[in-house]
Structure 1
Amino acid sequence: MKKITFSDIPKGFEDASIEAEYAPENLTHGFYDFNNYMERLNDINSPTSIIIGRKGVGKTAYLTKINLKYKETSKIVDMGQIPYYRFSKIQGIKNSKNFGGLRYLDIWKILIIAQSMKLIKEPYITEGNSEIKKIKKILEKMGLGQNSNLVKDIQTISNNKLSLKIKGISAEFSKSTQKNGAIEGISDLCFYLMDLFSKVSLSENTYILLDGVDDIMRTNVNQSEVLGALLRAIKDLNIHFKKMNINLKVILAIREDIINTINDPDINKVISSMSINLDWYTSGENLNLVKLMNKRMSTSQKLREFMGEENESLILWNHFFPDVISSNVSKNHEISSWNFFLEHTLYRPRDIIHFLKQVSDNYPNNESIYYSDFRTELSTFSQSFFFDEMKNELSGFVDEELISNIERAFPILGKNGFKYQAFVNAFTEINSKFSEDAIKTLLYRMFNEGYIGQRLNANSPYIFKHKSPRAKLSLDSQMVFHRGLYGAMNISEGK
């Protein structure tokens, strides 16, 4: 049998867009689609069009996979730099008869139609070529040209000349159709564009893939309303495209915590009907993550031959790492190294990709590493990755000064658990000006992201949100830090 070393592990990247450029085989041949979500996303006639999940679970990977499959007829639209505050500046919004996010519904439809016009090319238009030209001409008059991106389109549509532009479009419309006052505002314009689009037929499946909503920092009321309108717009447009037999679909990837900030009474119905939730956690050996790891490994011929048909086993993992670890995580004080590793993660693909890359970089010529090295690598994983991931997820939602003092406050609390008041005191002893409300926000945020667990009594196990999504924090409970933070906080796990 050929010698297998860590250098044989295929190079992986945590960012799917980088992986698409530098290691596309990981997405084309090493992509594991648990629950067959990809089939529903690819299906133009399926309502599934919203990908929800925590950071690092693979939302962008799904979009990138679609983009690689439909290179000529799909487009990933970066939502990361969207100036949400500008939506309220759009003329006609303040005087709209609609309330909340509904005020922004037609604006989003127009913006998404504008994105589709940048993608749809003449060779793929089987009917409605003249209507496509009309739509493009109208969008050009609005300043939403073929060479602008979504951010620029929003900046353009929010300037103070929009009403004049709509009047000009209305005058031209009236002249060409012999109708008077047909387009009086944003809603009329949206209706007209949708009507033109209804006459279009496309030969190939076409996808507008919206990504980067994760980059929103603090979600305020206006952003919540704008995002709520975006979800409604996606629903309305996809239903319209299906009814009109247009091979076009809009798909959005969005973080679960951001979805939860949207205050819209009907949004739960939209989510339950149109979304998938990427949650990789299962009991036992967590076979979904085992399969994902092995699928990525199989892009290497040497590793594929080593595994044979055992794509659901830990044969490769146990080749590289100790089979079992002595630990107080398990009642019998022994646990598989795979499960021990997962207990230091949030059960995300990103965690696995990073750890394998880290160990491969540190031991490229080794066939395996011993117990002590494995523990050292877990500590490094905590210090160089997991802890920073936590801080990145807190940024924008929690007082930045609190985040910068986490390294000082957390070691005081240790690994054996703490109560709410001790958590507050750990920060106020550093700076008495820290408010209890801000500290409480930090605590809730860490619990909701899985970095702090709780138990309601001394005889019950600790519960973490990434394993029990419906869990709610009780401030009276005993709390504990996630094991993945121990290395960064210099807290010993013992055996």
Structure 2
Amino acid sequence: MEEKKLKITRNLKIGALDAEGDSELLNRCFVDNGYLDRLLDVESPASIILGRTGSGKSALLYKIKSSAQKVVNLDPNDISVRFLEYSDIIQFFDALNINLDLFYKLLWRHVLTVEFLKLRYDIKSEYESKSFLDGIFSKFSRDVTKRKALEYFNEWGDRFWLDTDEQLKIITKKLETDTKSSIGAKYSEVSLTLDGAKRLSDEERCEIKQRASLVVNGLQIRKLNEVLDLLAEHSFDDPQKKFYILIDQLDEEWAGTETRVRFIRALIEEIKTFRRIKQTKIIAALRKDLLVLVFDVTRDSGFQEEKYESYILELRWSPEELERLIELRINEVFKSQYTKQQIILDDIFPKARKGGGQTSIEFIIERTLRRPRDVLQFVNESFAIASDRERVSWRSLFAAEAQYSEKRLKSLKEEWGEVYPSFDDTIEILRGLKATFTRSLIKDSRLEEVMLALYEHKNSDPCSTIVKKYYDSQGIKEADILSSMLSCLYRIGAIGVKTGAMDTYIWCYVDQASVTRGEIKRVEHMKIHKMLHRALDIITEQREIFEAVDLD
């Protein structure tokens, strides 16, 4: 029987750009680059899946959930953090500038403990919660070393079956009750609200802050330490049974930025704490730029970032792995039409032009930050341009690049909006430049135009901040401003840099994530990433070559 000719049908895609919409293809076309086994290994500390948007974090969580037997998803949107953020007692504490980090850690420890207990004992009702408690008290009631743990179970055990948001509301209410008790009859009329804090005199504020701080510092964190020890000994001691809590969507707007970063920092600390329970693992997915923000905002004296390195699993993809991903998915989406035909990339994409040179897949991958989502997006754009044809031509690839480039620029703005809210204006320093450029090619008029635009912003963007210092005569030079812009553009992946004529270009997604102030000052030669060439009207020799040859 004659095989049917290949045809790129209308609306053909090799996958959705998010793990939720891509689950069907993800199951059949998962490329395992060694990360899955490390995450499933409860003895490995690797617990924080770190990567830029589209690097495959949610896909890994999806595979863990389908591979493990005892696993639960914990969505921060369901934890009612906004309720905490706007609760009277939290606003009261914030107004008094009382550090709530210990409270946030307690919340996570309680929530994670309860989730593991529900998972281990299948607790879904008040009756099942009571049965678990009866077993604990029967075994340990005479053990004095477990006294604090049993006190905690006695206080909270009948509520273990409640939803997470209910648990947090109860704990927050207890914080308010304990605070009222602590400040005593002398301040019984004080309203524990934001307005109440504003009405306090300096003397009252000082005394109440001292008493309220004792409440936070006296939280039941020690009891929960003993609870964890008891659980490790009694409930999670079977090496054949492994239990996982998966946490995704941490980059969504489930709370204001300040609260969110402090909650995430508390979560990271608790992930480390729960390592003492050997048969359990908490796995969280986190965007790289968000982790940078968390550490920047919550950095305190004595902070050592290297202490967290063993817990972080940073996702990186090689060109070969990305090519394998494309080939697997293309075979899957064509399978229904061509059941006997194994498709290779050369069946769909154009071969390298005569005389050698770059292949079509190399062309695509060069215009990505080596992330699956970037590759999927470019291939999908190519199929859209080449619909109803038998294959993608070079002309189709070049046309797809224009659409893809605009979308990549928009995605970068969305991805880095919290760290660089003025990115829209900063990126304009590159518009119309040559693909490879030096500082001297950036005209003074262009720099001044971008600086004036940045000056208008009222935000914490480091580029806007340094521009304001310049115009406010705080000893800042134009060279310092340009260095700040270049540091931003390197960090997001828009440019690669090299410090010496004999050095090679380095990129944030291949080499080092950021460059120091000293390094960026020494940088003279820069290269604009090819994903942005079309969107920013970058002058390239390649465009002239493409236009001079037959692209079909």
* Correspondences of 1:188-199 after superposition (within 5 Å): 188-191=222-225, 193-194=227-228, 197-198=231-232, 199=234
Q: Deviations over 1:149-173 (max 9, x none)?
A: 4xx7556644574554999xxxxxx
Structure 1 segment 222-371 matched on structure 2, within 5 A:
226-237=263-274, 239-242=275-278, 247-261=279-293, 262=295, 263=299, 268-281=305-318, 286-300=319-333, 301=335, 305-307=340-342, 316-324=344-352, 334-371=357-394
1:1-150 matches, within 5 Å, as 1-7=3-9, 11-19=14-22, 24-34=23-33, 36-70=34-68, 73-78=71-76, 89=90, 104-117=104-117, 119-120=119-120, 122=122, 129-130=132-133, 138-139=155-156, 146-149=162-165
Structure 1 partner of 2:409: 387
Shift of 1:416: 3.9
- Counterparts of 1:380 and 1:433, CA distance in 2: 27
Between structure 1 and structure 2, the one with the greater Rg is: 2
Shift of 1:467: 2.1
Local SS of the residue matching 1:475: helix
Q: 1:186 aligns with which of 194, 199, 220?
A: 220
Provide closer, same or farther for how the CA distance between residues 213 and 419 of structure 1 changes in structure 2, counting only shifts above 3 A. farther
Q: Which has the higher helix share?
A: 2
Q: Deviations over 1:399-442 (max 9, x none)?
A: 34xx3436755324443424289388535315626346256655
> In structure 1, what is the equivalent of residue 235 of structure 2?
200
2:397 equivalent to 1:377: no
Structure 1 residue 249: Cα displacement: 1.8
Q: Which runs of 5+ in 2 are unaligned?
A: 137-149, 182-216, 456-462, 468-480, 546-552
Alpha-carbon distance in 2 for matches of 1:277, 1:194? 28
TM-score by length of 1: 0.74
Q: Is the 8 A contact 1:31 1:296 kept in 2?
A: no
**1:474 alignment partner, one of 509, 516, 520:** 520
CA distance in 2, matches of 1:466, 1:200: 42
Matched, 1:487 2:534: yes
| 1:376 Cα deviation after fit | 0.8
Q: 1:132 to 1:154 in 2, by over 3 A?
A: farther
- The equivalent residue for 2:449 is 429
1:445 lines up with 2:445 in the alignment: no
How far apart are 1:61 and its partner, in Å? 0.7
In 2, Cα distance between equivalents of 1:228 and 1:38: 24
Q: Deviations over 1:228-262 (max 9, x none)?
A: 3322211211x2221xxxx4321111123333342
Alignment correspondent of 1:312 = none
Deviates more, 1:297-306 or 1:47-56: 297-306
Counterpart-to-counterpart distance in 2, 1:424 and 1:217: 42
Does residue 411 of structure 1 match 2:431? Answer: yes
Residue 420 (structure 2) aligns with = 398
Residues matched between the structures, number: 447
Residue identity opposite 1:28 in structure 2: N
- AA aligned to 1:42 is L
Instruction: Measure the CA separation in 1 of the matches of 2:447 and 2:359.
Output: 37
Deviation of the 1:214 alpha carbon? 3.0
- Structure 1 residues 296 and 333: alpha-carbon distance in aligned structure 2, compared to 1, 3 A threshold: closer
- Give the counterpart letter for 2:351 in structure 1: D
Provide the residue aligned with 1:177 in structure 2: none
Aligned equivalents of 2:25, 2:368: Cα separation in 1: 22
Unaligned runs of at least 5 residues, structure 1: 168-182, 308-314, 327-331
Q: Relative to 1, partners in 2 of residues 1:90 and 1:219: Cα closer, same or farther, differing over 3 Å?
A: closer
Q: What is the CA–CA distance in structure 2 between the aligned matches of 1:96 and 1:147, rounded to whole Å?
A: 30
| 2: CA distance, partners of 1:121 / 1:91 | 38
CA distance in 2, matches of 1:240, 1:114: 16
Measure the CA separation in 2 of the matches of 1:450 and 1:86: 37
Q: Distance in 2 between matches of 1:122 and 1:218?
A: 30
| Kept after mapping to 1: 8 A contact 2:490/2:514 | no
CA distance 1:187–1:257, change in 2 (3 Å): same
For 1:453, what is the secondary structure of its paired residue? strand
1:56 alignment partner, SS class: coil
Deviation at 1:306, TM superposition (A): 3.6
- SS of 2:284's partner is strand
1:26–1:419: structure 2 CA closer, same or farther, 3 Å change rule? same
Deviates more, 1:341-350 or 1:7-16: 7-16
Counterparts of 2:81 and 2:446, CA distance in 1: 37
Query: What is the distance in 1 between the residues matched to 2:362 and 2:135?
Result: 55
Looking at structure 1, the residues matched to 391 and 50 of structure 2 have their Cα atoms a distance apart, in angstroms, of 36
Q: Deviations over 1:341-384 (max 9, x none)?
A: 1111111101111122223334333221222221111111101x
Partner of residue 456 from structure 1, selected from 499, 514, 518 = 499
Q: Secondary structure at the match of 1:236?
A: helix
**Which segment is superposed worse, 71-80 or 341-350?**
71-80
Query: Secondary structure of the equivalent of 1:417?
Result: strand
Percent identity of paired positions between Structure 1 and Structure 2: 20
- 2:245 alignment partner AA: I
**What CA distance in whole angstroms lies between the structure 2 residues aligned with 1:394 and 1:428?**
23
Code of the aligned partner of 1:67: K
Structure 2 distance, partners of 1:217, 1:492, is 42
Aligned 8 A contact 1:450 1:466 in 2: yes
Q: How far apart, in 2, do the equivalents of 1:138 and 1:197 lie?
A: 17
Residues 433 and 539, structure 2, Cα contact 8 Å, conserved in 1: no
1-side partners of 2:135 and 2:389: how far apart?
59
> SS of 2:112's equivalent?
helix
Paired residue secondary structure (2:454): coil
Shift of 1:51: 1.2
Letter in 2 for 1:295: L
The 3 A distance-change label for structure 1 pair 445 and 404 is closer
- Residues 141 and 165 in structure 1, CA contact (< 8 A), matched pair in contact too: no
Q: Distance in 1 between matches of 2:339 and 2:323?
A: 14
Q: Return the alpha-carbon distance in structure 2 between the equivalents of residues 462 and 224 of structure 1.
A: 33
Deviation at 1:15, TM superposition (A): 0.9
What is the CA RMSD across the aligned residues, in angstroms?
4.4
Say whether the 8 Å CA contact 1:32–1:292 is kept in structure 2: yes
- 2:289 partner amino acid: D
**Structure 1 residues 412 and 287, CA, compared in 2 at 3 Å: closer, same or farther?**
closer
How far apart, in 2, do the equivalents of 1:194 and 1:409 lie?
53
Give the residue type in structure 2 aligned to 1:360: F
**Deviation of residue 112 (structure 1)?**
1.9
Contact kept in structure 2, 1:60 and 1:211, CA below 8 Å? yes
Code of the aligned partner of 1:479: M
Other-structure match for 1:176: none
